[in-house]
């Protein structure tokens, strides 16, 4: 569960792993930006700035490996409780990322997606977000999903409300409400199931992130904070994923 793999495997090693055995969708809780900055004697906001560099490295590596999707937990619905100055900086940094990383997104062939609420985001951020979404929509590479103002409980509540409304209006029969009906209405409906969830910063919790989607995900946690998370750490997580036996509630033939 933790980062105990002594040496990262190389990209060419992973290339030998059959595509069906690699994680198709990796979700990442990018934790520890503020703690890292404080440990370096820097303002908390500097940790968020440095974290953008890590996003660039990890998205590039995911593209090299042919990972279908990575979902990054950028801003939770609970993060609005943080000091206003930090929130203002986060919004500025998000807008800056959406503008300045467009060339990188296009060069890497990334297809940008965003999940979460839009109604609490500033108009200037939404404007740049929509422009980048449109520009990258036809890119053939890894889908880079930014979870912004996202909460797992909020998502499930929204889906429940939508289904209840459809049943009440006769658009959906009550007997048709099953797991598949819920999955089709999630933000991530068009994405593969989350195979691997990575958390930086060492905390042992899922923090209201993709609660439905990570039901059978493998979890890999590192003490490293997000600004110091490296390509090698990312490869380590994938190597350990490849070494695990996934039972999905069943048993292996030899057990």
**127 CB burial (10 A radius; 0-12, 13-18, 19+):** exposed
Among residues 128, 142, 71, 75, which one has the least CA distance to residue 97?
128
**28 CB burial (10 A radius; 0-12, 13-18, 19+):** buried
Instruction: Print the SS3 string covering 167-218.
Output: HHCCCCCHHHCCHHHHHCCCCCCCCCCCCEEEECCCCCCCCCCCCCCCCCCE
In the set 31, 149, 195, 233, the catalytic residue is 31
Among residues 138, 9, 11, 131, which one has the least CA distance to residue 67?
11
21 catalytic per annotation: no
Helix (H, G, I), strand (E, B) or coil at 88: helix
31 catalytic per annotation: yes
In the set 12, 33, 79, 130, the catalytic residue is 79
C-alpha atoms less than 13 angstroms from C-alpha of 178 in its C-beta half-sphere: 3
* Cβ–Cβ under 8 Å, residues 92 and 125: no
DSSP character at residue 54: H
Q: Which residues does the annotation mark as catalytic?
A: 31, 79
């Amino acid at each position: 569960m933790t980062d105990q793999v002594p040496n990262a495997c190389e990209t060419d090693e992973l290339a030998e792993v059959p595509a069906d055995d690699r994680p198709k969708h990796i979700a990442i809780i990018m934790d520890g930006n503020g703690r890292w900055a404080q440990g370096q004697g820097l303002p908390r906001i500097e940790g968020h700035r440095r974290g953008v560099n890590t996003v660039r490295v990890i998205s590039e590596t995911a593209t090299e490996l042919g990972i279908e999707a990575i979902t990054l937990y950028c801003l939770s619905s609970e993060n609005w409780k943080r000091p206003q100055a930090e929130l203002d900086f986060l919004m500025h940094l998000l807008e800056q990322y959406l503008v300045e990383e467009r060339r990188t997104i296009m060069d890497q062939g990334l297809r940008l997606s965003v999940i979460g609420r839009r109604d609490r985001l500033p108009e200037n951020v939404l404007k740049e977000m929509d422009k980048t979404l449109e520009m990258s929509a036809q890119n053939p590479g890894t889908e880079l999903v930014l979870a912004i103002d996202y909460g797992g409980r909020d998502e499930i509540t929204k889906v429940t409300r939508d289904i209840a409304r459809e049943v009440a209006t006769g658009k959906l029969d009550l007997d048709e409400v099953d797991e598949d009906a819920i999955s089709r209405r999630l933000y991530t409906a068009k994405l593969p199931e989350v195979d691997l969830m990575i958390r930086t910063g060492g905390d042992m919790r899922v923090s209201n992130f993709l609660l439905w989607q990570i039901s059978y995900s493998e979890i890999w946690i590192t003490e490293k904070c997000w600004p110091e998370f490296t390509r090698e750490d990312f490869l380590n997580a994938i190597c350990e994923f490849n070494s695990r036996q996934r039972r999905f509630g069943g048993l292996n033939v030899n057990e």
